[in-house]
Chain A
Amino acid sequence: MASMKQRVLAAYEWLEHRLGLIKPLSEAAAHPTPENNASWWYVFGSAATVLLILQVVTGILLALVYSPSANEAWTSLGILNHSIPLGWYLRALHGWGSDFMIAIVLIHMVQAFLFGAYKFPRELTWMIGVGLLLLTLGMAFTGQVMRFDQDAYWGLGIGASIMSRVPFIGAPLVHLLLGGPIIGGATVSRFFTLHVFVIPGLLLAFAFVHIFMTLKHGVSDWPMPGRLVSKATYEREYRELTAKTGIPFVPDAAWKDAVFAAAIILAVMACAFYFGPFGPTGTPDPTIIQTVPKPDFAFLWIYALLAFLPTSVETPFMLIMPVLVIVAMLLLPVFAGEGERHWARRPVAVLMVSVIALTLGIFTRLATYTPWSPIMDAWTSAPVPAKYLHNRTPLERQGALVLQDKQCRNCHSLGNVGGQRGPALDAIASRMTEDQIIRQVLQGGGNMPAYGNALNPAETKALIRFLMTLNGNLTPAVDSSRELTHAEQTQPPQTTQPPMPASAPKTP
């Protein structure tokens, strides 16, 4: 047995004498790290790396079957899902792996920010990390295009529409993005190139540099309130701390990384197994317009943001804001490279993370039910609550029909059913007077189109009569000047209804 061991040792010596990589790598793995950062808070970077490797492996396996052509991509996804054994599972692993990777990268970033780990001498490590975040999001967007379905098609349209807003070079940029005048074969080819060659290459290179720099400067020590980072003393202090309390990274600290990475991979596998792959949704045929395109989870907040921006600031916001945010993230360690690291002494940092997380969370939540979007089939599918039709005159019931027929329900809800773009109409008559309702319906205003051309006087009258019954058991809104007018006339009002407005435009 001894000779066997000796032979193995001799083989190792032979290999290492020529390769020269094993010894330095194992030395790097066992480098001493301060005891206080062998923490469960320091496991996210390694988990992100493991997820990256998972994505590379599953991506290569998917590429064995996937056909990157506008003509065939959608069909090949169906074949992966249904015909290739375990193809569905590979697609699910890749899709869920992507969501997990974005989440872990974001958590890793928040941790590095709150722990002040981006400060001297790790400024460049942070900047490379910003690049890694952007590349990860780039993978997510191009990956969404690889799942070449309706959402991918119209998502590309949205990307092209944003590009087209760039002044002067909008049209060339659109053509560059799409690879031609329309979304088609060239578009899928170039997004495949980005998703499979360009971005992964950059991602691996950036990750290598990121990890190399982490080894060079050591994993940041646990922040202590009042222990300030100073360029003059930090590195000496870190060396002293490492000398005093250092433990070998492998195995003393790395076992937590390994356990967490295993847990994450297990979670990806569980999600992939139970929830299955994402899509594809309908075939990418642009003549099928009965579709409600939506981006993937990571971009839902942008989708929501674009619904709320006022028209006048939308283009500048779209084009300038991303640049500002990226520059701010890159320059953060330049302007805050020294000083306090502990979150308890950095209230602005904590506030920023809270506000940004809350904002992204709210916008993402909003985008899951898109209250700004008309519900296209509400006018035929949403019922009028029966209580709104009880004891109503024929004219009022006719108004309820007009309300349905003119698609008002696509944007307005009754009994919580219907679109939410406009206000709910359940108690509209308690908020608006009859005159105000007539004016709003016929002339529009705010987010409401004018219906003067779409309603004839009879329909208008019926609709208004119906709307006036919707006072939600509250006192109907009245124009206060009306009573004065009536008082002047010293005649009791016959009816609250005004003469049909002469302003009602004729139908064309």
Chain B
Amino acid sequence: MSELLNHPDEPSQSGIDAPLPDAKAALHSRRAFLFKLSVMLNAAVGAVLAVPLVGYLLGPALKKGSNTGSWIVLGGINDFPVGETRLADFRSPVASFDDGDTAKVACWVRRISDRQFQVFAVNCAHLGCPVRWFAQSKLFLCPCHGGAYYEDGSRASGPPERGLFEYRYRLDGDSLVIHAGDMPTLATQASCKQKPLIQIDPAGNETASAPARSRRWPA
């Protein structure tokens, strides 16, 4: 390459007028050094280029999961008779412009008493398939691998290692409001245990559903 580029300056390319071996070696070492330098320059430019690209790529992963989501009205409490468990759905508050129907989320609402609720994610704690409620046997059953949960969401049998995921809820007058965001998985929602999620909203004005949780865990 360098020989071709240098060709016009040099009288001839044949061996007759070629520079002395020492001079060629000197030129070579200088060019080799320049090449190494250019490689380093490109490495530096590449690194500067790569950082924002990787940042863009990892963008969804770097968001703080617990901060996504918000409170969303699920419906009037009178839609949910006391003692029953009913399917409700809402549009995810974290939906994006092109989510279409996938932004819809279903959940099971159990009204324990007048002001006491449990709101379960439909996603099985095993691998996320949608569980169905059977009022007669008071069980949630998963169609995928046969996970079963009792009416309070605690694990009954099958492969799940824990109970159903629960949404936090509060009662705003006569409407049932739940906190929703991430699709519930073992890592993205673990509020079933006593440890609450980090909250943006003040915790005071919320009817804690914590006492109802985790009470009926099988020994």
Contact = CB atoms under 8 A, between A and B. Distances in A.
Nearest to A69: B98
Contact of B102 (A183, A307, A444): A183
By CB atoms of chain B within 10 A, which of A171, A178, A181, A307 has the most? A181
B146 A181 contact: no
B60 interface: yes
Interface in B57-110: 58, 60-63, 65, 68-69, 87, 89, 92, 94-106
B12 interface: no
B151 A453 contact: yes
Given A172-B62, A175-B65, A376-B132, A450 B137 contact: no
B178 interface: no
A69 B60 contact: no
A454 B136 contact: yes
Nearest to B99: A184
In which size bucket is the chain B interface? 35 or more
Contacts of B153: none
Given A307-B146, A309-B159, A447-B158, A182 B89 contact: no
A311 interface: yes
Contact of B99 (A176, A185, A291, A446): A185
A173 interface: yes
Contacts of A447: 146, 157-158
Contacts of A446: 157
Contacts of B156: 444, 449-450
Interface in A131-162: 153-154, 157-158, 160-162
Contacts of B123: 157, 161
Nearest to B140: A449
A289 B122 contact: yes
Contacts of A162: 127
A181 B94 contact: yes
A181 B69 contact: yes
A285 B101 contact: yes
Interface stretch (B29-37, B169-177, B185-193): B185-193
Contacts of A309: 159
Contact of B100 (A71, A171, A454): A71
Interface string A309-336: 1010011000000000000000000000
Interface string B39-67: 00000000000000000001011110100
A378 to B, nearest CB: 11
Given A178-B183, A372-B146, A314 B96 contact: no
A261 B152 CA distance: 58
Contacts of B89: 287
A171 B142 CA distance: 23
Interface in A363-412: 372-374, 376, 379, 405-408, 410-411
A293 B157 contact: no
Nearest to B183: A182
Interface string A332-346: 000000000000000
A163 B128 CA distance: 11
A407 B136 CA distance: 7
Contact of A72 (B92, B100, B126, B145): B100
Interface string B115-149: 00000001100111111101011110111111010
A451 B106 CA distance: 26
B167 interface: no
B161 interface: yes
A421 interface: yes
B65 A449 contact: no
A446 B148 CA distance: 12
A290 interface: yes
Contacts of A471: none
A5 B148 CA distance: 79
Given A70-B98, A185-B100, A444-B157, A293 B143 contact: yes
Contacts of B144: 154, 158, 292-293, 303, 307, 373
A431 interface: no
A154 B124 CA distance: 11
A25 B132 CA distance: 61
B163 interface: no
A311 B161 contact: yes
By CB atoms of chain A within 10 A, which of B61, B68, B87, B92 has the most? B61
Contacts of A182: 92, 94-95, 99, 102-103, 105, 182-183
23 contacts: A158-B128, A172-B61, A172-B65, A174-B182, A174-B187, A175-B61, A180-B60, A182-B95, A182-B102, A184-B99, A289-B131, A291-B130, A291-B143, A292-B143, A293-B143, A307-B145, A315-B161, A372-B146, A407-B139, A410-B141, A449-B139, A449-B156, A449-B157
The 8 A-B pairs at the shortest CB distance, nearest first, are namely A170-B187, A185-B98, A71-B100, A449-B156, A157-B128, A164-B185, A184-B99, A164-B187
Interface of B: 58, 60-63, 65, 68-69, 87, 89, 92, 94-106, 122-123, 126-132, 134, 136-139, 141-146, 148, 150-151, 156-161, 181-183, 185-188
Given A172-B65, A303-B144, 15 more contacts: A69-B100, A160-B128, A164-B188, A174-B185, A175-B188, A182-B102, A184-B102, A287-B106, A307-B144, A374-B142, A376-B143, A406-B137, A444-B156, A449-B139, A454-B137
